[in-house]
Amino acid sequence: MNYAIVFRLLGYILLCEGGLMCLPALVSAVYSEWAVLRVFLLTIALCCAIGGALTRIRPRRRIFYMREGCVTAALTWVVISVMGAVPFVLSGAIPDPIGALFETVSGFTTTGASVLADVESLPMGILFWRSFTHWIGGMGILVFLLAVLPMTGGSHVNLMKAESPGPQVEKMVPSVRQTAKILYTIYLGMTLIQIVFMLAGGCPLMDSLMITFGSAGTGGFGIKNDSMASYSPYIQVVVTISMILFGVNFSAYFYLIRGKFRKVLIEEVRWYLAVVAVAIALISWNIREMFPSLLTAVQQAAFQVGSIITTTGYSSCDFDQWPTFAKSILVALMFIGACAGSTGGGMKISRLVILLKSIRREIAQTLHPSVVTPVRVDGKPLDQETIRTTHVFMGAYIILFAASVLLVSLDGESFTTNFTAVAATFNNIGPGLAGVGPMMNFGHYSGFAKLVMTFDMLAGRLEIFPLLLLFAPETWKKF
Bin 218: left if φ > 0, else alpha if -120 < ψ < 50, else beta.
Answer: left
Outline where DSSP puts E strands in 374-445. Answer: 376-377, 380-381
- Residue 475 in marked binding region: no
Q: How far apart are CA 255 and CA 259, in angstroms?
A: 6
The answer to whether residues 44 and 11 touch, using CB atoms and an 8 Å cutoff, is no
Please give the C-alpha separations between residue 224 and each of 131, 211, 314, 439, in angstroms, as whole numbers.
Answer: 12, 10, 11, 11
Q: How far apart are CA 96 and CA 80, in angstroms?
A: 18
The answer to whether residues 42 and 426 touch, using CB atoms and an 8 Å cutoff, is no
What DSSP assignment string belongs to 302-360? HHHHHHHHTT----SS-GGGS-HHHHHHHHHHHHH---TTSS--SS-HHHHHHHHHHHH
Q: How far apart are CA 159 and CA 4, in angstroms?
A: 16
- Residue 76 in marked binding region: no
User: DSSP code of 63?
Assistant: -
Q: Is 199 exposed, middle or buried (0-12, 13-18, 19+ CB in 10 A)?
A: middle
Give 381's strand partners: 376
- Residue 179 in marked binding region: no
The answer to whether residues 414 and 403 touch, using CB atoms and an 8 Å cutoff, is no
Residue type, 466: P
Q: How far apart are CA 77 and CA 94, in angstroms?
A: 20
Q: Which residues contact 192 (CB under 8 A, 6 or more apart)?
A: none
Give 377's strand partners: 380
- Residue 219 in marked binding region: yes
The answer to whether residues 320 and 340 touch, using CB atoms and an 8 Å cutoff, is no
Give 380's strand partners: 377
Q: Binding-site residues for K(+), please?
A: 110-111, 219, 311-312, 428
Binding site as annotated, residues: 110-111, 219, 311-312, 428
